[in-house]
Amino acid sequence: MNLSMKSVKSIALFLAIVSLEIVSIFTPAFTQAANLTLTKDTLQSSRISWAGRVKSPTIAGSAHVWIYTAASAPYNSISTANLAPGDALTIGTGSYTVESIVDADEFTLTANLATGDADDTDPIYFAAKPQHVITFTTASAVSNGFFQVLLPADATTPNDGKPDDGGFDFGAGSITLTPTDASGYVFISAYNAATASGDTGCTAPANYHCFEFHYSGTGGNGVAITLTIGNTTGATTPIAPAPAAAHVGTADSYKVIVKNFTPGANPNTATPTDQTSTSIALIESVRVTATVDPTISFTITGVASGQTVCGTGSTTDIDTTAGLNAPASVPFGTMSLNTFKTAAHLLTISTNATNGYTITAVEDDQLGIGGGTTPAIIDTACDSGPCTHLAEQSWETASGHPGFGYSLGAGTGATMAFSNANTFKTKQFAAAVETEAPQTIMSSTGVSDSHTGYICYRLSVNATQAAGDYENLITYTATSSF
Amino acid sequence: MTKPATFSRTIFFITSLIVILTLSLTGARQASAADIGLSINPPLLKVVVRPGKTITNVYKVENLSSTNKILIARLIPFTTADDQGNPNIDPRATAPWLGYFSLANSFIKLNEPFEIKSGQSEQLILSINIPITAPLRDLYATLLVTSYGNSVASSLQGTTLSASIGSNLLISISSSATPSTILKITDFIPEEGKYLKIGDYYILDNITPIFFTAKARNEGDFTAETKGIFKIERNEKEPINMQSVLPQYVLSKSQRKLANMEDDKFYFTPRVGLLGKYSAKIDVRSESSNASTQIDIIFFPGKILLGLAAVLIFLNIIIKFSFSSKTDTSPY
């Protein structure tokens, strides 16, 4: 008991230190999981899937599909707004391709519906399969661990290969996982695992698909990590959700969770070292359309002499490609008695108007001296006539059959009003002065791209024709059909 | 020296004159190989206008020719030329309601010439001012842009051409955005020569493809549209074939051939097992009108039965021939 006061203090200090050590050994500090930062799930496309229903009067053997405009979960797509030409659809059990969108509740397919695929309420699916690129920054160094990504899944049918209204569908197949190595993280592809919601090892949390990315290395703090789920072709990619119930044109939002585990941890039960969540939103695609202005264009081109454009046996004598006002004139020049002179023009028309076009011709009057009324070169009556402005006849003999008329020669695409039949089938021009309606010479009932046709003019005079310069005016009018 | 100098000047003058005359005779005139080319868009305007309202529509007219062109824009009333949607445009036609139309351009007026340079275009701003007292009805007109020759031929022996391009206007003057129409389906029959008609029934062969034709007649005062369905159905409720009707305009008091989406006749290929009574039906529906008609058809295996009959007759002949051959082979 001769201990000095100094000794007592030393012993007390020693015991205090030992006690603290013991307490510290038996009472480990709680580890607080940190947040992974800058976490994003970038989708290849934010386009939502489509799940609707066939509606009567859709029938097998037709390519025309009507859809229900009232939702009945899980078929909440009630408009064609998220469909586009070229989309691959599953209708009933068959595979089809959208050809065109008719309106809000009708579209057409490239092939007719098969029996059994056109029944009322048969399902229609379009599966959007966007690749997921998940990026984040680590919060701590976990050596030789693994990352787990959880994608929200449907509660009832998470892996049937059809779009769901409650989350991503696993796709009834394999999923490609592609991590990118980073400093301290060398990923081991063989250990990657993609497990559908509810399958072994992917039960908690419920209704999530599980994707594990295992790595070797020391890990690190503040390292940017990139993990990819699926491929860009959609072949091994989860199916994006279809519209959720009560989806009204706004985006459906889903939560994606990312966790970092230590090696050997059971992700169903273990607490991750670090974790975070991020949200993704899916919405109908915007159907991009481009408008091409409807238009109609019409061109008259001259035809050189020596051409056979209105049937064999009728060669053009007059060159309408050159000269004053060419090609807007037919300069017959000085006529020999009882001899034909023939000239021609090429008419070209294009229109993207769906109902096609018509070209009509009308003359102001018969060829008259100085453009006057009399004397006139009469409109021809043809050989065994009479041909009229409504009915064509052959006109191959100049002598004894004077006058002025026209024939038609086929070009490309257009429907000509009549055929020359190689005998210079001829009509008179309708005469405005006689209140005759302009006559159609070329037409088409659909879109036309550079339809062409020839019009050939023929003139013959006899000895009784008074001398002078004879003229008239022919008007060609091109209009679209309505 | 005076005479020779004068002589030389005279020779020089005559030579120069000859050269100039020769050049003027042999030198080619400026020949134009140009086309006449025009385009206009839009080629069709369908609009409903309330009385008392004014609307404008811009047309783009382009000169596709290789030379500048003098053009004149006019409005011409038109009527239907046929049942295929073609207009009958009489350039001399006129109507009091043409006064509703004018061009709002600063320098271009209706019925007055204007120039568009080669390869250039002009906008025609068409203003349509419907008076408050205008009768409720349709107006059909064509905005016609006509090209004329740039020069006057003093001694032309022949024909002068002018090219016109037109855009059709279908204007309904109505206080309703969707004026009511009265549309009827007429002349709905199978292809001529492919059926036998007994009473109201059309008997069709059950393995022969068949076309159907029909027309829509608009008995109302406003343009109607032919949007609808053609279908073959059993018991009037089980369609076995369905085709969309091509949407087309049917002008007031006119008729129009109906067509499928390929602008062709309605087409149906029966199959062998198709027998008995069916109906072919056309339903046309639009915001302002509905029309429906149907015909009763009976699919009958005519060709199959004829084929079987021919086979039986042929077999019968063979059998008879065989028997007669056996009889003939008798040694006696």
Q: What's the pLDDT at A236? A: 94
Query: Which one of B143, B173, B203 terminates a domain?
Result: B173
Q: What's the pLDDT at A149? A: 95
Q: Which residues of B touch A291 (CB under 8 A)?
A: none
Q: Tens digits of per-residue pLDDT, B123-147?
A: 999 999 999 999 999 999 999 999 9
Q: For B80, what's the count of Cα atoms within 13 Å in the CB-facing half-sphere?
A: 19
Q: Nearest 5°: CA angle at A70, between A68 and A72?
A: 95
B109 belongs to a structural domain: yes
Cβ atoms B223, B181 nearer than 8 A: yes
Q: Tens digits of per-residue pLDDT, A206-239?
A: 999 999 999 999 999 999 999 999 999 999 999 9
Q: Are residues B120 and B202 in the same domain?
A: no
Give the tokens for residue B264.
Answer: 């062709």
Helix, strand, or coil (residue B26): helix
**SS3 sequence, A331-355?**
ECCCCCECCCEEEEEEEEEEECCCC
Helix, strand, or coil (residue A169): strand
Give the tokens for residue B102.
Answer: 């004018």
A337, A330, A345: which is closest to A472 by C-alpha?
Answer: A330
Cβ neighbour number for residue B317 with a 10 Å cutoff: 10
**What is the Cα–Cα distance from A87 to A129, expressed in whole angstroms?**
12
Q: What's the pLDDT at B153? A: 53
Report the complex ipTM: 0.73
Q: Are residues B42 and B167 in the same domain?
A: yes
Across A346-353, average pLDDT: 90
Q: Are residues B167 and B206 in the same domain?
A: no
Residue labelled with tokens 């072949």: A235
Q: What's the pLDDT at A428? A: 96
Q: Are residues B285 and B204 in the same domain?
A: yes
**What is the Cα–Cα distance from B117 to B70, expressed in whole angstroms?**
9
Q: Tens digits of per-residue pLDDT, A356-394?
A: 899 999 999 999 887 677 788 999 999 987 999 999 999
Task: List, as ranges, residues 62-121 from B with C-beta within 8 Å of A.
Answer: 62, 64-65, 81, 84-92
Q: What's the pLDDT at B29? A: 36
Q: Are residues B44 and B115 in the same domain?
A: yes
- Asked if residue B331 has a cis previous peptide bond (ω within 30° of 0), the answer is no
Mean pLDDT by 10 residues, chain B (332 residues): 52 54 38 72 90 90 91 94 89 91 91 93 92 94 85 65 92 88 92 88 91 93 89 80 87 93 87 88 80 91 92 92 71 50
pLDDT-derived band at A28, boundaries 50, 70, 90: very low
Across A1-20, average pLDDT: 62
Cβ atoms A74, A242 nearer than 8 A: yes
Q: What's the pLDDT at A293? A: 62
Cβ atoms B220, B287 nearer than 8 A: no
Does A475 touch chain B if contact means CB atoms closer than 8 Å? Answer: yes
B282 belongs to a structural domain: yes
Q: Are residues B244 and B269 in the same domain?
A: yes
Q: What is the DSSP letter of A168?
A: B
Give the tokens for residue A67.
Answer: 């859809």
CA–CA distances in Å: residue A166 to residues A69, A193, B259: 20, 23, 45
Q: Is the pLDDT of residue A35 over 50?
A: yes
Across A53-77, average pLDDT: 90
Q: Percentage of chain A with pLDDT > 70?
A: 90
Count of residues in chain B: 332
Q: What's the pLDDT at B21? A: 42
Q: Are residues B57 and B142 in the same domain?
A: yes
Q: Are residues B196 and B293 in the same domain?
A: yes
Identity of the residue numbered A28: P
Q: Are residues B224 and B294 in the same domain?
A: yes
Q: What's the pLDDT at A333? A: 85
Q: What's the pLDDT at B6? A: 56
Q: What's the pLDDT at A478? A: 93
Give the tokens for residue B262.
Answer: 């390929």
Q: Is the pLDDT of residue A21 over 90?
A: no
Q: Is the pLDDT of residue A8 over 60?
A: yes
B243 belongs to a structural domain: yes
pLDDT-derived band at A96, boundaries 50, 70, 90: very high
pLDDT-derived band at A31, boundaries 50, 70, 90: very low
The residue that leads in pLDDT, A189 or A7, is A189
**What is the Cα–Cα distance from B43 to A481, expressed in whole angstroms?**
9
Q: Which residues of A touch B32 (CB under 8 A)?
A: 322-326
Q: What's the pLDDT at A443? A: 93
Q: What's the pLDDT at A127? A: 94
Q: Which residues of A touch B149 (CB under 8 A)?
A: 325, 328-329
Kindly determine whether residue A355 and residue B248, on different chains, have CB atoms separated by under 8 Å: yes
Between strands B201-205 and B290-300, the pairing is: parallel
B12 belongs to a structural domain: no
Kindly determine whether residue B165 and residue A298, on different chains, have CB atoms separated by under 8 Å: yes
Q: What's the pLDDT at A7? A: 66
B138, B136, B34: which is closest to B77 by C-alpha?
Answer: B138
Smallest Cα distance from A73 to chain B, Å: 27
Q: Are residues B188 and B140 in the same domain?
A: no
Q: Are residues B291 and B199 in the same domain?
A: yes
Q: Nearest 5°: CA angle at B144, between B143 and B146?
A: 155
Q: Is the pLDDT of residue A459 over 70?
A: yes
CA–CA distances in Å: residue B227 to residues B133, B224, B284: 32, 9, 5
Q: Is the pLDDT of residue A32 over 60?
A: no
Residue labelled with tokens 């009322």: A120
Q: What's the pLDDT at A4? A: 61
Give the tokens for residue B22.
Answer: 């020769």
B25 belongs to a structural domain: no
Q: What's the pLDDT at A250? A: 67
A340, A342, A304: which is closest to A323 by C-alpha?
Answer: A304
pLDDT-derived band at A156, boundaries 50, 70, 90: very high
Mean of the per-residue pLDDT values of chain A: 87
The number of C-beta contacts closer than 8 angstroms across A and B is: 227
Domain count for chain B? 2
Q: What's the pLDDT at A446? A: 83
**What is the Cα–Cα distance from A328 to A320, expressed in whole angstroms?**
8
B31, B59, B32, B35: which is closest to B45 by C-alpha?
Answer: B59
B21 belongs to a structural domain: no
Domain limits at B130?
38-151+159-173
Burial of B116 (0-12, 13-18, 19+ CB in 10 A): buried
B326 belongs to a structural domain: no
Does A482 touch chain B if contact means CB atoms closer than 8 Å? Answer: yes
Q: Is the pLDDT of residue A279 over 70?
A: yes
The residue that leads in pLDDT, A118 or B15, is A118
Q: Tens digits of per-residue pLDDT, B172-190?
A: 999 988 888 889 999 999 9
This prediction has a pTM of 0.62
- Asked if residue A205 has a cis previous peptide bond (ω within 30° of 0), the answer is yes
Cβ neighbour number for residue A412 with a 10 Å cutoff: 11
B13 belongs to a structural domain: no
Q: Tens digits of per-residue pLDDT, A281-337?
A: 777 665 555 555 678 999 999 999 999 998 877 899 999 988 777 888 888 888 889
What is the signed CA dihedral for A88, A89, A90, A91, rounded to 10 degrees? -140
Residue labelled with tokens 């036609």: B93
Smallest Cα distance from B2 to chain A, Å: 49
Give the tokens for residue B126.
Answer: 């068409």
**What is the Cα–Cα distance from A164 to A175, expressed in whole angstroms?**
17
Q: What is the CATH number of the domain that holds B263?
A: 2.60.40.10
Kindly determine whether residue A61 and residue B44, on different chains, have CB atoms separated by under 8 Å: no
Q: What's the pLDDT at A419? A: 86
Continuous segment of H or E residues that includes residue B320: helix B302-328
Q: Are residues B165 and B64 in the same domain?
A: yes
